[in-house]
Amino acid sequence: MQYTNLGRTGLRVSRLCLGTMNFGAAGRTSEADSFAIMDKALGLGINFFDTANRYGGREYQGYTEQVIGQWLAQGGRRREEIVLATKVYGAMGPGPNDRGLTAYHIRQACDDSLRRLQTDHIDLYQMHHIDRRTPWEETWQAMELLVQQGKVLYVGSSNFAGWHIAQAQAAAAARHFMGLVSEQSLYNLRSRTAELEVIPACRAYGLGLIPWSPLAGGALGGGLQGATVGRRAEAEARRRFDDAQLAKLAAYEAFCQEMGEQPADVALAWLLHNPVVTAPIIGPRTEAQLVGSLRALDVQLSADALKRLNEIWPGPGGEAPEAYAW
């Protein structure tokens, strides 16, 4: 396994982050299979685990955190050997104060996550979305208190714009607080809007980028091939992708075949070549999918390969404002 620093911190995390959104969710990954995947990940050297209090598909219950907590409760230094990340923001109850980034909700949500996870601290506590109704002074005061109490070690963001990162860091600096160390954002070959302002902001402020949906919901993992096998192949492909997308996917999968690599591995390797990226979040449903993801760490993309990928999946034209203005 390869390791890198989480943003500008000295904390070392694996270059692949285990996403747990499917753990315990109905029809996804059972508790037993979730335990097996987490054990396998740890055995492979993956020490970065990501979850959220909203995950699990059971309203307000934080079910995925409960699954992880039961796994940690088995002992065997499981808790000591992982960097555990979770999130706060979404509704965790029917009341008007059961959501957001208010001091009221952050305190309650953190205590609830600690109880479900059966641990005394969260290594990376991420704001799952920007809260436009709560001032940064209030949010940072609440986060500082959690750090002082030893309940949280580092604070990150998720789904923030570049401007939000700048606002957050300016407010934190005024309080002599470390502020954000990471941003978890939608970023993959198909969705490259983050290159305009989020990635430049992360680089400027020393945040590690943690891309979610690195395979674009499976489309970059051989999605066209998967949609074109079987009796209803053509109808399935047409349902998922329009003509322009089908053409790009066909060109992409042909290029991956030319390279002799699996599409999923090329998509992850493309993210990993970006120095701002700390670790893409992989969400395996089986141990086999987990093990297969490790190949991406060894895929080397030449300048020509990067050029070809950029031709198939063109980005926004660079960073803002040069991408759209002289």
Residues with a known catalytic role: 55
284 and 46 Cβ atoms separated by less than 8 Å: no
| Sheet bearing 281-282, strands edge to edge | 208-212, 180-186, 152-158, 122-127, 83-88, 48-50, 17-19, 281-282
Residue 185 in 3-state DSSP?
strand
Instruction: State how far the Cα of 284 lies from the Cα of 288, in Å rounded to an integer.
Output: 8
Copy the structure tokens of residue 308: 């070809």
Instruction: State how far the Cα of 147 lies from the Cα of 319, in Å rounded to an integer.
Output: 34
User: Do the strands 12-14 and 3-5 form a parallel or antiparallel pair, or are they unpaired?
Assistant: antiparallel
Instruction: State how far the Cα of 311 lies from the Cα of 251, in Å rounded to an integer.
Output: 10
Residue 256 in 3-state DSSP?
helix
Distance of CA 258 to the CA centre of its chain: 29
Residue 18 in 3-state DSSP?
strand
Q: Of 56, 133, 45, nearest to 89 (Cα)?
A: 133
Instruction: State how far the Cα of 324 lies from the Cα of 318, in Å rounded to an integer.
Output: 9
Tell me which H or E stretch contains 48: strand 48-50
Residues with Cβ within 8 Å of 213's Cβ and at least 6 positions away in sequence, in order, are 186, 188, 191, 281
Cβ–Cβ contacts within 10 Å for residue 61, how many?
15
Q: What is the DSSP string of 196-227?
A: TTHHHHHHHHTPEEEEESTTTTTGGGTHHHHH
54 and 66 Cβ atoms separated by less than 8 Å: no
